[in-house]
Chain A
């Protein structure tokens, strides 16, 4: 009997459940796909370093899965309670017929089990299918060979998905039972009578609230988007809090404001169904201020996560080509311990290798060997000259007391020739600053513009140019060179020699052989380090290693962004769709009335389209504006990664959002249309 009731209920409220089921299926399949990725990656990535990436990816994705399970769990609880509310009259009927609360809970449990098993089954099938497509993306990111690809089902992912969703369904059932046990018959019976009071809010208060919210948002935007340099941690938290509060207030006031504006334009307001449409929209927004705020913020995070994930990939791939022109770079820093204090001293790496019977140039085709210099009088702060105080105040994160690294012009130019980059020419009384971090370029260029004269080892030199020179010494995957000085050879003194550098290309093009060379070089470094009395900190960076790091970063960020983005998107879509559909169901009588008044079906459909459209578009619109500023801010933070045009990544993110969010919109509109046409 219970079974029959449950099945009947699901079949009858299929329209309500359709969106719920649809969301669960997508949720399950996304969960499976991302949990199965590490398995696929392991299949496609064969090299040892890739395996490390795979295990990192696995850790990150399974960690994120806990968060995602939380989000989806909340969504399931929200959606099932929402659907329950729509059935209060039905529960009232059961209770008047003498059914106990335990049996009502049992009916709900049975329904959840049916839906749960159905969604898990369909979702897993869909997920297994989708994950094969995902393999193409994995292969692409890992630059792997697709020929290694085989059809793959991850048992672990299946198990994990089933476990997580079972737990989520159980939580939902517990919540439902708790709600059922607190139900009162009188409330249930009266729930059908809508006593919702549609109060037109005071337009002046709305306008003031709107203006305050807009102004607060504007200030937060300005602070985050343009004054980012002065951004401290507390200030950032404040900006985010202000942004959230302003978003809430905007949604609270926007409908009242807009309605007033439209109402004052009488010829628009009283045309066709406009008055009805505007009133519907405003009542919908007014009853969903909080959810719209949450959805807007989630969409904002989604847009940021997706664009960031895609742009990191483009940037790093481009950087690898331009910022890593040598096969290896060894920085050899030595310290002497005097009176328990580490004192940096110069140590010649090549001689030290030779002393240990090793040849640093063994596998090397071409290399540059040189060293840097330090002058205790040349710190970042002193290089700012008269601007020191101002720049320190504007950029509190700078460590202005640190000594600056100095290179000889001839050494620098030899290296640039090896790199195939432009060389530098300086007059005898000039110095240059070489830097490729955008943030530091801006700061240092201020001092150069001012023509700050710096004394290097007693020689007063003036700036070669009013801007920093773009470049670097050590190859790296990102634009992280915060700046060093290049001075004429005559300006340095050898007593101030600091770190030794040995940078070059191997005598081989073969990647496997180069990997072997890298390994040998690293082993030799360790040997020499152990055989020396001085404390030596060898820092070996190879092109292969930087490439691997880039790929790791790309893979992890891409999948993380996609994962969180997709889950947030389906959550937003589902909440909006459920709200809109129940609103449509409640408004059936109103549409019936319009038909009796002789409104054309086309006009009614158009009205519904506009209502649904505005309901979906409004949070997205505000989220997009947030995202423009958010991405602007993030690109300042991430500028170390490199400069880039955001075009392609943003388009890719937009495509995903349009596909999923737009899909929810379309389904909602079509279902809504059938609901309001229902009783004809």
Chain B
């Protein structure tokens, strides 16, 4: 089933004298239950794309449909409701509220939706088990490691059962071991819980956990590969081939 449909979106920055086309006529669709990675060098427009899908930024032209709703037409309260009910966010720098415990950070996403306290407790404990953070729930962000923080942030993103989870460089601030642990969890969420995940990254290793990788260069789709039945290592090699093809632009990001 088609969940997300992106149709010829464009995003321009600046004015007439110096126009930057951050996104230039991008179209693709994402199926329900897919784990998509978007790769590209710095300045390729991948984060802009994610911001447009997450309604943090507005497109200049084109349409984005999520489950049949044109989200580029949403405004004000409808936009806020869409964000809190349909989307889950994971950021590179975790963005946890440092005054709240892990438990409260996760619960906040639900309490903003005005869910009753009992339901909140059950949901938080369930998602904490899934992400392996049940033992840090009463800790504050400053008492946790980076990996734990990112898993708490992930828990916050999926606790509301969003249609789409958006992750912006989720492993960017993690060491390789924590990154691997997090990505294993993402795969688990994707396979066992049926979460649809879209992740922006410039790291081939991170991308290799996805089932499909879209490459972006200069605001356009450069290439796209699907894993199919291949195992992760093999998929990683495939991704590396494309990265090499993309040229020196991305080598510095590796």
Instruction: Name 5 interchain pairs, CB-CB below 8 A, sorted by A.
Output: A273-B111, A276-B97, A276-B99, A598-B80, A598-B81
Partner of B108, one of A195, A595, A597, A600: A597
Partner of A597, one of B112, B118, B140, B142: B112
List chain B residues, Cβ under 8 A from A593.
Answer: 95, 97
Check if B83 sits within 8 Å of A598, measured CB to CB. Answer: yes
Check if A275 sits within 8 Å of B95, measured CB to CB. Answer: no
| Interface status of B56 (Cβ within 8 A of chain A) | yes
List chain B residues, Cβ under 8 A from A194.
Answer: 98
Check if B80 sits within 8 Å of A270, measured CB to CB. Answer: no
| Interface status of B110 (Cβ within 8 A of chain A) | yes
Mark out the residues of chain B between 59 and 87 whose CB falls within 8 Å of any chain A CB in the assembled complex: 77, 80-85, 87
The verdict on A276 contacting B100 (CB below 8 Å), with A270-B117, A593-B95 known, is yes
The verdict on A267 contacting B117 (CB below 8 Å), with A273-B112, A598-B80 known, is yes
Check if A198 sits within 8 Å of B140, measured CB to CB. Answer: yes
Check if B95 sits within 8 Å of A198, measured CB to CB. Answer: no
Provide the bound-state CA to CA distance between A307 and B85, in Å: 54
Classify chain A: how many residues form its interface, as a range.
20 to 34
| Interface status of A272 (Cβ within 8 A of chain B) | yes
List chain B residues, Cβ under 8 A from A599.
Answer: 80, 84, 112
Provide the bound-state CA to CA distance between A273 and B107, in Å: 10
Q: Which residues of A are at the interface with B, using a C-beta cutoff of 8 A? A: 194-198, 266-267, 269-276, 279-280, 283, 589-590, 593-601, 603
Provide the bound-state CA to CA distance between A422 and B213, in Å: 105
Partner of B104, one of A197, A275, A280, A594: A275
Check if A279 sits within 8 Å of B112, measured CB to CB. Answer: no
Of the candidates B98, B114, B118, B120, the one having the most CB atoms from chain A within 10 angstroms of its own CB is B98
Q: Which 8 A-B pairs have the closest CB atoms?
A: A598-B84, A598-B83, A279-B99, A266-B117, A267-B117, A270-B111, A270-B117, A599-B112
Partner of B100, one of A197, A279, A596, A601: A279
9 additional contacts (CB under 8 A) given A275-B107, A276-B99, A598-B112: A198-B98, A198-B142, A266-B118, A273-B108, A275-B108, A279-B104, A589-B95, A596-B54, A598-B84
Measured CB to CB, the nearest residue on chain A to B119 is: A270
How many chain B residues have a CB neighbour from A under 8 Å?
33
Rounded to whole Å, the gap between the CB of B136 and the closest CB of chain A is 15
List chain A residues, Cβ under 8 A from B140.
Answer: 198
| Interface status of B215 (Cβ within 8 A of chain A) | no
Provide the bound-state CA to CA distance between A272 and B113, in Å: 7
| Interface status of B121 (Cβ within 8 A of chain A) | yes
Provide the bound-state CA to CA distance between A269 and B118, in Å: 12
Check if B89 sits within 8 Å of A597, measured CB to CB. Answer: yes
Rounded to whole Å, the gap between the CB of A68 and the closest CB of chain B is 38
Rounded to whole Å, the gap between the CB of B251 and the closest CB of chain A is 31
List chain A residues, Cβ under 8 A from B113.
Answer: 598
Check if A272 sits within 8 Å of B97, measured CB to CB. Answer: no
Provide the bound-state CA to CA distance between A280 and B104, in Å: 13
| Interface status of B221 (Cβ within 8 A of chain A) | no
Measured CB to CB, the nearest residue on chain B to A195 is: B142
Provide the bound-state CA to CA distance between A270 and B117, in Å: 6
Rounded to whole Å, the gap between the CB of B186 and the closest CB of chain A is 19
Check if B112 sits within 8 Å of A269, measured CB to CB. Answer: no
Partner of B116, one of A195, A197, A267: A267
The verdict on A597 contacting B109 (CB below 8 Å), with A269-B117, A270-B120, A271-B114 known, is yes
Measured CB to CB, the nearest residue on chain A to B114 is: A272
Rounded to whole Å, the gap between the CB of A128 and the closest CB of chain B is 47
Mark out the residues of chain B between 1 and 57 whose CB falls within 8 Å of any chain A CB in the assembled complex: 54, 56
List chain A residues, Cβ under 8 A from B111.
Answer: 270-275
List chain B residues, Cβ under 8 A from A266.
Answer: 117-118, 121
